[in-house]
Structure 1
Amino acid sequence: MTCLSWLFTLWTSSVPTLLLVGLMGRQLGFKVGLQVVHTVACSRWSAPSDQGLFQDGDVIIGGLFNLYYNPPVIDHDFTQLPYYKSCTGLQNLPLQYVYAMVFALEEINHSTTLLPGLKLGYRIHDSCAIPLWAVQAALSLIGRNSTSCDSTGAPEVYGKGNNKDNGLTSSLDQPVPVIIGGDSSVTAQILSKILAPFSVSYTASCSCLSDRTEYPNFFRTMSSDFYQARAIAQIAIRYRWDWIGTVAINTNYGLSALKTFQEETEKEGVCVAFMEIMNRESIVSDSRRAALTIQASTAKVILVFAWYTDVWELFLQLAELNVTGRQFIASEAWSTSGDILQDITVRNVAQGVVGVAIRNSNIPGFDKYLRGLNPSQRPNDNFLRQLWKNLFGCSPVAAPFVTYSYSEASLPPCSGTESLQGVQHPFTYTSELRVTHNVYLAVYAVAYALHNLLCPSRDSPLGNNSCSILKDIKPIEVLQQLNQVNVTTPQGENFYFHGADIPAKYDLVNWQTTPEGSLKLVLIGRVDGLDIHLNESAIQWSTGTNQVPVSVCSESCPPGTRMANRKGEPICCFDCIQCADGEISNKTGSIQCERCPLEFWSNAGRTACVHRQLDFLSFNETLGITLTTVSVSGVIVTTAVFVVFLHYRQTPVVRANNSELSFLLLVSLKLCFLCSLVFIGRPSVWSCRFQQAAFGISFVLCVSCLQIKTMVVLAAFRSTRPGAEALMKWFGPGQQRGSVCIFTVIQVRVIICVIWLSFSPPVPQPDFQIAGLKVTLKCAMASVVGFSLVLGYIGLLACTCLLLAFLARKLPDNFNEAKLITFSMLIFCAVWVAFVPAYVSSPGKYSVAVEIFAILASSYGLLFCIFAPKCFIILLRPEKNTKKSLMAR
């Protein structure tokens, strides 16, 4: 066993606890908890600290508590067997837990209904918050004839040479069937893996411990972290905190709870801004790093899963950096920490903390019991002696076998009048019994299981028959009975185990600032299983008011915009993009915009769909007035030319240019100018039909006249050739009028009247395909073929006329209109060729304006190219308006 001592020394300094504890059993070849090997030398299976609290009894209950927080420095010089000195730094709350266990056992021992006739004893050790030391302490609890070592390393056997009065009796050699502990999830996992006796933990909350296949001999009176993590997730979702920073201790407690929180919130769109993991071994540097991260982050809500001493160090670092205004969400491990609440240094940092806490309960008589404790009545109680030393600065009288430490020897002896009555101290503070009540419940759960096992009345756990121990108690027997415990505690609380767990019950607490400037703990709600009940009006947030803090990566997109995720960033970080034209979003935080129906369009703010306004080319607008003016001017000019030709109809210029066709051409041009007016104004059924009919007839009549004039010119000059007299018979005045009528009738009768306007006429219809609040009301072409035939027929006549005029361009100038017709038809064709793409690409009412412009441009081209030179001669050069001049070459 000497080598075992060295193994423990090496494990403490270099090897992970879980791995090497498993290796220990395999290498040494024994089953822990069933047998402890004896040796003459100091066994070293005793607790790391030689301090403990012991009481004789028929059944011994073990206890492991994290009483001291400062482990000693171990010298690994390999010159002698290592000796584990006691830890230092007594903690007040864990000490209260110890006496809650003692109080519950004494209460049970005095009960006439629970385990009558039997006395429960205890062996309580300190684990010093180190899992490996907790294992050593647990091994000393379950072993027979266990030994401890004195300050020199010599063996010291409990139960030999000691009497019952000093609390170290032969009953301490009994194996412990159950342990109240350990104090953390890591310790509980180790104990459950390597010990045959089962443990009932009062603070181990890792959700992993609920797995009965992995931890079949583990129970707890502490709720699983799954429930507190889920409750915190519900709070985050309720207040729409989607950008949360997290800080966790690097243990199963912190990491598993953080994992549960993320799983519950991810599906609701909550993102983790950062995740800082702190290690107990390097808490100062890690908390400094976490504080700097919190300072730099835009997250205003910070979730912390850690032990209160770790959070205290983190808050000290934040206070040094002057980081305030953060809303901290506390896990149950520090949400009720009086040490942090009372520290004025971190007051500004900790203001407004909202947290989950273990359900507060009352233990009747416990306050009186605590205040009645006195070292004079418990001379072997080293824990109480240490408390007295810290509180009153004196050294109580020790029992004969208890040695003084150097620090105690330097203190004056106590007068014996010192008392806890009226002392305000965390140890005596009993209005907030949370973990303390968990310890109390754990003891009662074990007592009821032992009652069912050892008492002869099996029908009722509260039978009055005396109980007796006929043989050694096997832990597996107690475990089986504990699975079936379902009783009511003295406080009237129903208590039972569901697997390893009890029903989850939490309080929701808030750290509020008092008028004096200090912080106080206020109850704001509760958690029952998966249900959360919260009094929102009672909360004081980190802002010092009831105004809920906002913690988002990006502000919610207002109505009229949509969220657009930023590349490479969490989904909570996004930009707000305005909805496109014709799309709206009428609520905050829209993921996408909705398209308005055809009859509607988005308003300026993109928040609602409004009816689209009908729009058309009106006589009242600038464009309509301009086109009307140009059209009317064309009619006036054409009329003026008509009057001039009519007045000078007997002159050579008029007569030489086929005056009858000229007058008919002027009439058709006037109709062309007038038909453009039909396109202006609100379209109606009849205006849509009339405008296309007027347009087609006017231009066919116009182009037909030009074509006949060209043909007449060609025929006249060719008639001078021998045998061409018969040709002129086909181009007399009657034939000319007939040809014009035929060309026009083809357009009117066959295409427009019969086919197009009868079967598929244009109808007024809003053009919803054009984007915008204003929708154009125009004459929709029900048959594009009909409109194409109209233009095609006009184009065919125009091209034929242009070709004939081109052939006649070299005839004598004085008698030749061919050049004028050629220029006019070139302009006409150019305008209407350019019209097609311009019409198609023009939006809304501007397509109508393009058609009107084409009509006016081609009409003015024909008017000026053909009649301007003639009017110039008639009015300004009358000397040339003679037959002699016209006949001259």
Structure 2
Amino acid sequence: MFPVIKSIQPGSSKQILAAGHLLALLLIALKKEIGVKGRGIITHLLLLLLLLPEATPEMLNSKCPLTLIRDPNQPLNWFRPGDYHISGVISATPVGFNPSVFNEPPFTRVSGMGFLPPWYTLSFLFAVREVNRNHRLFPNLTLGYDIYDNFYDARMTCGAMVDLLCPGQPNIPNYYCGPWNKALAVIEGADSDKSKDISIMSSIYKTPQLHPFLGSSQFYNTSMEGVYLDEKGQLTVESDVVNWVPFPNKSFGAVKFGSISRQGSSGPKFTIDEEALVWSRLFNQTLPQSRCTKSCRPGYAKKVQEGEPICCHACAPCAEGMISTQEDADHCTKCPEDQYSNKDRDQCIPKIITFLSYDEYLGTLLASTALFLALITGLVLGIFIKYLDTPIVKANNRDLSYILLVSLLLSFLSSFLFIGRPRKVTCLLRQTAFGIIFSVAVSSLLAKTITVVLAFLATKPGNRVRRWLGKSLANSIVISCSSIQILICVIWLGTSPPFSDSDMRSQAGEIILQCNEGSVPMFYTVLGYMGFLAAICFTVAFLARKLPGAFNEAKLITFSMLVFCSVWVSFVPTYLSTKGKYMVAVQIFSMLASSAGLLGCIFLPKCYIIVLRPSLNTKEHLTTKA
């Protein structure tokens, strides 16, 4: 378009109008056939055509018919003539526009417009004046400016760019007669949308931006001190950060509240004096947040990184049992003891109450097993009572067999004290009953073993051990050994008895209802004494296993005590490695397994003979076997 207009001779205004109308029609016809980028170029060309001045017959008598006189009071433009110009378009004043018409310039249709240039424009105008006064910078030359305010409007931006890029007079691209006002650079201070329009139009004439033009220059401030820019066009000296504060007389003043230092440092350092910062009442008086990282989501907390500024923090997830409910939390908050954190660590939810109950599979299985073994023990006890006068029942002290069977029955039934919701009574009875019942059972086995040994020694001539044989010795062994365990339990209950308690820390998300043993050393004392009796019983039975005698029980006792000791030796590490209701399950299992071992190894062979092989349950058979 521009070479066509430049080739038109002066005075042919009708040809200009005809060419303009023809080109407009051509562009409108082609607009449907081209893409989005082409449409943008067409839009700018149409705007250029609309800005062509109205041609009148009087212009034919002029020597330079397209010369227009600039209005010095034009509110859109700050203009100063010079040998070289710095042009610019800024977005400074928001205004409202009346409906567009085509018989008068656009700026006359603006309402609510202010005429005072913004402070940064005034600084530029004063700087140009100082440059022109300093003959060391531009000897014999003057610097002018041509600054437009586009009022945040695309039409005003295009109109200003047409005027700025015309080398001669306003609004006629590629046409000039007389001086050529060459623009050195274009200052661009508009918003992002208008910057695209400025870039497209300025690139046609290869007009540079001001920033690279001044990239390696030296300037002088009002005190004639040198101010340098680095290779990136940034100031190398310290800059003050000021706040414009209104005063009661409606004037404004700059108050320093910070600085930016670059000289002698690897990077810019920004400093703010919060006490010197004065906020206007029109603004929210909260300090802005400085950051160089993304915000920490709920469930995370800020973590200061060593060697980095405070604003350059990392985001660390909250630990288990802790939460954060806000963004950029300084620290995580611990949940109450009866609650725990969810998976996202941004909410506390109630913990689940748990204990070994009859409703769950494990509790039902253990209870059923204990009940079944108790019934078996009761059946064996009934068989021994029914056949109490038979030789096999009388052998090795019938009363001790009854004591052992009753203690085994009670040991199976005591398992029910460990199942269910822990209460005050059950917590007091469960461990003491366990210790006393098992001590009675092991004591009766020890008495049986000692009876076998004494009976063998009594068969030797001249041995005085015969007088020790009888029920009195066996009963005294059971009573004395059991009494020691009873004394230990009484001391335990008197000093620090067990009580019902809740454990909120062992398992995440659970409140474990359990019996607190009160004194852990006392619990292991009870367990240790029971193990001591079992060890003595096993040793004596092992030594007496080959002694002759009528139905010698030493072999059966040896094997039963081997099972008993194996169960309780493995109980200790297993018990210590589990938590919560599974500790209770381990103890119940050990009680059932050890008692079942004693029942099966000692009494099942006898019941087999009594019920299924009655012919062997005779004194002659036992004597012959011996």
TM-score category (smaller protein):
0.5 to 0.7
Q: Which residue of 2 aligns with 1:685?
A: 424
- Which of 386, 390, 393 does residue 651 from structure 1 map onto? 390
How do 1:216-235 residues align onto structure 2 when only pairs under 5 Å count?
A: none
Contact 1:126 1:134 in 2 (8 A): no
Listed as ranges, the matches of 1:364-375 within 5 Å are none
Q: Secondary structure at the match of 2:340?
A: strand
Gaps spanning 5+ residues in structure 1: where? 1-64, 69-85, 95-124, 141-147, 150-180, 184-202, 204-307, 310-332, 347-385, 397-404, 409-445, 447-491, 496-500, 505-527, 537-549
Q: Please report how far the alpha carbon of residue 387 of structure 1 lies from its aligned counterpart in structure 2 after TM superposition.
A: 9.7
Which of 368, 374, 379 matches 1:629?
368
Aligned partner (choices 454, 469, 475) of residue 731 of structure 1: 469
Given that 1:87 and 1:128 are in contact with CA atoms closer than 8 Å, whether structure 2 keeps it comes out as no
Q: Give the corresponding residue for 1:559.
A: 298
Tell me the equivalent position of 1:342.
157
Check 1:335–1:772 CA distance in 2 against 1; reply closer, same or farther (3 A cut).
Answer: farther
Please say if residues 338 and 351 of structure 2, whose CA atoms lie closer than 8 Å, have aligned partners that are also in contact: yes
Map residues 9-158 of structure 1 onto 2, 5 A cutoff. Answer: 87-89=83-85, 91=87, 135-137=134-136
Aligned to 1:847: 583
Aligned equivalents of 2:562, 2:302: Cα separation in 1: 57
CA contact (8 A) 1:66 1:129 kept: no
Q: CA deviation at 1:712?
A: 0.6
TM-score (norm 2): 0.58
**Residue 552 (structure 2) pairs with residue 816 (structure 1):** yes
Q: CA deviation at 1:591?
A: 4.1
Structure 1 residues 695, 134: CA separation in 2 closer, same or farther (over 3 Å shift)? farther
Q: CA deviation at 1:691?
A: 1.0
| Corresponding residue SS for 1:674 | helix
Q: Which runs of 5+ in 2 are unaligned?
A: 1-77, 91-124, 182-221, 223-248, 257-275
Paired position in structure 2 for 1:662 = 401
Change (3 A) 1:529 1:858: closer
The aligned counterpart of 2:21 is: none
User: Quick check: 1:770 aligned with 2:506?
Assistant: yes
Q: Distance in 1 between matches of 2:127 and 2:423?
A: 97
Alpha carbons 1:763, 1:779 under 8 Å: kept: yes
Select the residue among 266, 271, 279 that pairs with 1:531: 279
Q: Is the 8 A contact 2:396 2:451 kept in 1?
A: no
Alpha-carbon distance in 2 for matches of 1:609, 1:92: 59
C-alpha distance after superposition, 1:127-161 (max 9, x if no partner): 88997x87435798xxxxxxx69xxxxxxxxxxxx
1:574 CA displacement:
7.5
**What TM-score, normalized by structure 1, do the two folds share?**
0.42
Partner in structure 2 of residue 873 of structure 1: 609
Which of 507, 514, 524 lines up with 1:788 in the alignment?
524
SS in 2 for 1:839: helix
Deviations 1:63-101 (A, max 9, x none): xx9968xxxxxxxxxxxxxxxxx853463789xxxxxxx
Q: Which amino acid aligns with 1:590?
A: A
The alpha-carbon deviation at position 589 of structure 1 amounts to: 2.8
SS in 2 for 1:342: helix
Q: Secondary structure at the match of 1:91?
A: strand
- Rounded to whole Å, the distance in 1 between the matches of 2:312 and 2:428 is 58
How many Å separate the matches in 2 of 1:126 and 1:638?
A: 112
Offset from partner CA, 1:424-460 (integer Å, 9 cap, x none): xxxxxxxxxxxxxxxxxxxxxx9xxxxxxxxxxxxxx
Instruction: Give 1:647 deviation, angstroms.
Output: 1.8
Change (3 A) 1:733 1:770: same
TM alignment of 1:514-525, pairs within 5 A: none
Please name the residue that 1:703 is paired with: 442
Determine the C-alpha separation between the residues in 2 that align with 1:345 and 1:581: 63
Residue equivalent to 2:381: 642
**Cα pair distance change 1:338/1:806, threshold 3 Å:** same
CA shift digits 1:20-66 (9 cap, x unpaired): xxxxxxxxxxxxxxxxxxxxxxxxxxxxxxxxxxxxxxxxxxxxx99
In 2, the alpha carbon distance for the partners of 1:799 and 1:637 equals: 27
1:775–1:844 contact (8 Å) kept in structure 2: no
Q: Is the 8 A contact 2:440 2:478 kept in 1?
A: yes
- Superposed, 1:437-836 pairs within 5 Å as 494=251, 530-532=278-280, 556-563=295-302, 578-603=317-342, 605-724=344-463, 726-748=464-486, 750-753=487-490, 755-812=491-548, 815-836=551-572
* 8 A Cα contact 2:150 2:156, kept in partner: no
The 1-side partners of 2:405 and 2:160 are apart by 103
Distance 2:475 2:159 in 1: 114
Per-residue deviation at 1:338? Answer: 8.3
Q: Whole-Å Cα distance in 2 between the matches of residues 612 and 794 of structure 1?
A: 38
Q: How far 1:790 moved relative to its partner?
A: 0.8
Asked if structure 1 preserves the Cα contact closer than 8 Å seen for 2:456 and 2:548, the reply is no
- Deviation string 1:227-267 (CA, Å, 9 cap, x unpaired) is xxxxxxxxxxxxxxxxxxxxxxxxxxxxxxxxxxxxxxxxx
Q: Is the partner of 1:136 in helix, strand or coil?
A: coil
CA distance in structure 2 between the aligned counterparts of 1:129 and 1:888, rounded to whole angstroms: 139
Contact 2:83–2:143, Cα closer than 8 Å, also in 1: no
Aligned-partner Cα distance in 1 for 2:511–2:391: 56
Q: Which deviates further from its counterpart, 678-687 or 708-717?
A: 678-687
- What are the superposed Cα offsets for residues 328-373 of structure 1, whole Å, 9 maximum, x if unpaired? xxxxx99979899715999xxxxxxxxxxxxxxxxxxxxxxxxxxx
Distance 2:574 2:618 in 1: 46
User: Residues 632, 789 of structure 1: CA spacing in aligned structure 2 closer, same or farther, 3 A cutoff?
Assistant: same
Query: Over residues 308-330 of structure 1, what are the superposed CA-to-partner deviations in whole Å (9 max), with x where a residue is unaligned?
Result: 99xxxxxxxxxxxxxxxxxxxxx
Measure, in 2, the Cα distance between the counterparts of 1:578 and 1:767. 26
Name the CA distance, whole Å, in 2 between partners of 1:732 and 1:871: 25
Please state how far the C-alpha of 1:805 moved relative to its aligned partner. 0.8
Return the alpha-carbon distance in structure 1 between the equivalents of residues 600 and 393 of structure 2.
Answer: 16
Q: Is the 8 A contact 2:341 2:347 kept in 1?
A: yes
SS of 1:601's equivalent in the other structure is: strand
Give the drift of 1:813.
7.7
Is this contact kept in 1: 2:150–2:157, CA < 8 A? Answer: no
TM-aligned CA deviation for residue 877 of structure 1: 2.4
Is the CA contact (8 Å cut-off) linking 1:67 and 1:128 kept in structure 2? Answer: no
The answer to whether the 8 Å contact 2:128/2:143 transfers is no
Structure 1 vs Structure 2: percent identity of aligned residues? 39
> Per-residue CA shift, 1:659-688, capped at 9, x if unaligned?
211111000000100111111111122211
Amino acid at match of 2:135: Q
CA distance 1:869–1:564, change in 2 (3 Å) = farther
Counterpart contact for 1:613–1:774, Cα < 8 Å: yes
